[in-house]
Each structure stands twice: as structure tokens, then as C-alpha cells.
Structure 1
Amino acid sequence: MECLGVSSAQNLQALSALLSTQQDGDDDDGGETRPSHARLGPGHIGAPKQDKEVSSAYIKKNSKDIWSEEEVAEGSQYDDLTDPRPQPEYEVILKQSVGTEDLYLGLSGKDPSSMCCEAMLVKIKLPETKATDVALDVKETFLDLRTPKYKLGLHLPQPTHSAGGKAQFFSEREELEVTLPMKHSMDFLIMQ
């Protein structure tokens, strides 16, 4: 271990020289002056910045905008807090096609997780409603249902292929069933 003698005084002098604001005329930094250590902040860490470049993802179209369209969640335009219509009862069920080779032998590699599900079934109870009264709009992650008596804005738990979905109204049960094929982020890896 080193004593606190001459070498520690030399270390203090070397540190002082590094932090000093005086510049020699023969520096290689092109005459650029460094800020004093009292004025250093988080912005001085790393290489000096040449130009302030703003990412195009964060540029607002209008300088008075406080958010961009990408920052607003899908389906939020349907949220109407002043609408007095109640939300109907609903149930979301994930569906998976399973055969005997999956059940007994496990050949396809499927498991009970939602990543192996092919479709999403949304059952919505609509008492005292006719099929002609139902207005349904399905997006990738949002389901909007409107009737004269009920209103449902449902954020779906998984992204779906809304164009490939189908809806069926059962008047005897007063229930609407919406089946939506699920979209997985790793679909391109599945070999068919």
C-alpha cells in the first residue's frame, strides 16, 4: 500500500491540472475551451455534440400539439364518459385447435399458453336486443360494440387479424359471439 507522502500530493496536482480551466496554446483540440468543473453537468459526459439532431419520431406536426397520433392508444376515441348506456356482460375465451397427436403424443409442440392459441372468442350478452340493432367495429387491438341499450369498448388482450374475424348473433340466447384470428409477433417462424 502506498503512503500519503509525495505521490499522493502529485496525484492531487495531476487531478487539479485535469480539472483546471486554463488552456495551453498548443492543445490539440483546436482551441476549444472546456467548461470549469463547477459548471459540468450530465450533458458534458461523452464526446462533444456537433449538432442537435432531433429524431424524426419525436417531431410534432404542429408546434402547439402536446402529443402525436402515435402516442394515443387505439380505441380511446370511443371512450365517452358522458354516455349513460351500461356495459354488457362479456367473456373472452382463447381458442386452440388440438388433435389427438397434440393431446397424447405432443407432436406439434403446442402448450396451453396463449402463444399457441389460434383465435379469440368474445361472447357478449345482449338482453332485449335484436341483431339489426348491433353496430360492431373491430380493430387490431380494440372491439367497439354499440346498441341502443348497451355500449362496449373492449381493449383486446392480444392483437388480432380483424379482417378475418366473424360475428354471429344467437337470438335465442341473446348473445353475440365474435371470433377473431390472433396475430402473433413470431408468426413468420412457424413452418407450415
Structure 2
Amino acid sequence: MEGLVGNFDIKSLSQLLTPPDQQDSDSDEDYKPSSAISKMNPSDIAPKRKTEPGGKSEAHQKKNEKDIWEAQEVNPGAEYDDVYDPRPQPEYEILYKQSVTTEDMFLQMGNKTPSTASCEDMVVKIQLPDTVGSDVKLDVKDTFLDCRTPKFKLGLHLPHTVDPKTSRAQWVVDKHVLIVTLRMAREYDFVNF
């Protein structure tokens, strides 16, 4: 059959490609390539740790004895996750809000665009049916929003960094909706405004 390569063909090709000084025609079993890649093992892939004169590596000296993981091994915001809480997550939506003036709308004199890059605030609307406003516990961090009631729990990793000090919340009694307005504190906001 044409097109199929047999074991003999592979050995012949190997002998053709091997330089004459490295060929050993008597033993095919002892033939091992001498390239650097073939000599690698799994420990060669990881970055090398710097060792101090005392024999301990730099990572071991900075690490606390009670720490299980190193700081780079933990995902950002993982300290807020609570997997053992059986309360369901309420429905929510994230909206963006920007302040525009007549110059922006009609004369287009400003540098505002309809994109979210020109928005100053992020609005999170959380639906909390059968909840009283006094039962809502809200905690806002730079990149995380934590809302808890006796019936619901929402741990939301925010898509943008916010300023918790200038943020505000409003409870709409007749709709059982919590509206949280978060002032965004993005790194390159000075370009868009």
C-alpha cells in the first residue's frame, strides 16, 4: 500500500538524518537523540528558585509558616467566595450611566461616546422579592459587591474598580429592588473625560 510508512522506513529515515559520527548501526535500542529538548524533565519547565546562603529559597523565607498557598496562587477576590451558603443568588443587572450635557448631546462638543468607556457610574439593580429594606446587608469593596438578606446572597465580582466611599444605595419599597450606584475608578479615566 502506498502512503503508509512502516517501522523499517522510520528507522531508515532516522539513519539518514543522523550524522555519521553518531550512528551506531548495531544497536537500535541504545540510540538516543542528543538534543537538549530530549534531556529535559518536568522540573526544567518551572522557573528556578533563588537560594540564599542559608540554603532556603527566597520563596520559603517570605512565606508565613501557616500559609497554605502563596499569594500568586490565589485568584483575586477568592477571599469573598462562600461556597457553603445555601441561599440562592438573586436576579441582578449591571447598567452603566454617564452624565451628559447639551453640548454632548446636540453640539457634540465633548469627547463623550455612547460606549461604556465614557461612563462614570455603574448601576447594579438587585431584585430581592419578599424582602424588607432593613434586612439588607450591603458591603462594597473596590472590586467586589456583597449583598446578603435572610433569603438571598449575592457575591458579585465587579467588572471595573469602583470607589466605595462615593457609592450610594437606594431601596425601592414597592418593587423590592436595591439600586446600588457605584462610582467607577478606572486607571485611564482621565483619557475619556
Q: Answer whether contact 1:60 1:67 (CA < 8 A) is retained.
A: no
Match of 1:119 among 110, 121, 137: 121
What's the TM-score once normalised by structure 1's chain length?
0.65
User: Which residues of structure 1 form unaligned runs of 5+?
Assistant: 1-37, 43-51
Alignment equivalent of 1:81, drawn from 80, 83, 88: 83
SS in 2 for 1:162: strand
The separation in 2 between residues aligned to 1:173 and 1:39, in whole angstroms, is: 70
Q: Tell me which amino acid in the other structure corresponds to 2:175.
A: R
CA gap 1:133/1:74 in 2 versus in 1, 3 angstroms: farther
Q: Match for residue 99 of structure 1? A: 101
CA distance in 2, matches of 1:158, 1:59: 34
Change (3 A) 1:177 1:186: same
Segments of 5+ residues of structure 2 without an aligned counterpart are 1-33, 40-48, 52-57
Change (3 A) 1:57 1:111: farther
TM-score (norm 2): 0.64
Q: Provide the alpha-carbon RMSD of the alignment.
A: 3.2
Please show how residues 55-70 of structure 1 align to structure 2 within 5 Å. Answer: 60-62=62-64, 65=67, 67-69=69-71
Give the Å deviation of 1:75: 3.3
1:190 and 1:112 map into 2 onto residues whose CA distance is 12
Q: Give the whole-Å Cα distance in 2 for the aligned partners of 1:103 and 1:69.
A: 47
Q: Which residue of 1 aligns with 2:31?
A: none
Which secondary structure does the structure 1 equivalent of 2:95 belong to? strand
Structure 1 residues 39, 158: closer, same or farther in 2, change over 3 A?
Answer: same
